[in-house]
């Protein structure tokens, strides 16, 4: 089964919590995720947006190219799921942080 077939379709009553729950259910991610935070808001252009913060575990990968590639894959998976759950007019912003980053 591919990830795309396991993703939910648009739900009119989609909430931040619904999206977080669906993200937490994703399996076989390219890197370890310890937390997902989803917030609806308005972006810099006054357009409706979804802001997703992904807390990824500190890893011992020293090759920056490998780390970058894993984050790009996680970014694409996240955007694909969120875009299927929200109004198409909402832009999805994804931010990565590590547990060691200050809040």
Contact 94/19 with Cβ under 8 angstroms?
Answer: no
44 C-beta neighbours (distance < 10 Å), count:
7
Q: Are 94 and 18 in contact (CB under 8 A)?
A: no
Structure tokens at 74: 């996680």
Residues in the chain, total = 103
Residue 1 confidence class, pLDDT cut points 50, 70, 90: very low
Domain of 28? 3-97
- Residue 102 domain-assigned? no
Domain tally for the chain? 1
90: helix, strand or coil: coil
Q: Cα torsion for 20, 13, 83, 87, to the nearest 10°?
A: -150
For residue 5, give the 3-state DSSP assignment: helix
Burial class (CB in 10 A: 0-12, 13-18, 19+), 19: buried
Residue 2 has pLDDT above 70, yes or no: no
Report the predicted TM-score, pTM, of the whole model to 2 decimal places: 0.81
| CATH classification of the domain holding 72 | 3.30.300.70
The verdict on residue 86 lying in a domain is yes
Alpha helices in 1-103 (DSSP H): 3-6, 16-24, 64-85
pLDDT tens digits, one per residue of 11-47: 557 899 999 999 999 999 998 999 999 999 999 999 9
């Amino acid at each position: 089964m591919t990830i795309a077939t396991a993703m939910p379709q648009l739900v009119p009553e989609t909430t931040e919590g619904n999206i977080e729950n669906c993200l937490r259910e994703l399996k076989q991610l390219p890197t370890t995720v310890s937390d997902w935070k989803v917030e609806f808001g308005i972006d810099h252009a006054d357009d409706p947006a979804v802001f997703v913060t992904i807390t990824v575990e500190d890893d011992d990968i020293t090759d920056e190219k490998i780390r970058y590639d894993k984050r790009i894959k996680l970014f694409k998976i996240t955007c694909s799921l969120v875009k299927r759950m929200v109004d198409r007019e909402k832009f999805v912003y994804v931010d990565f942080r590590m547990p060691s980053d200050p809040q």
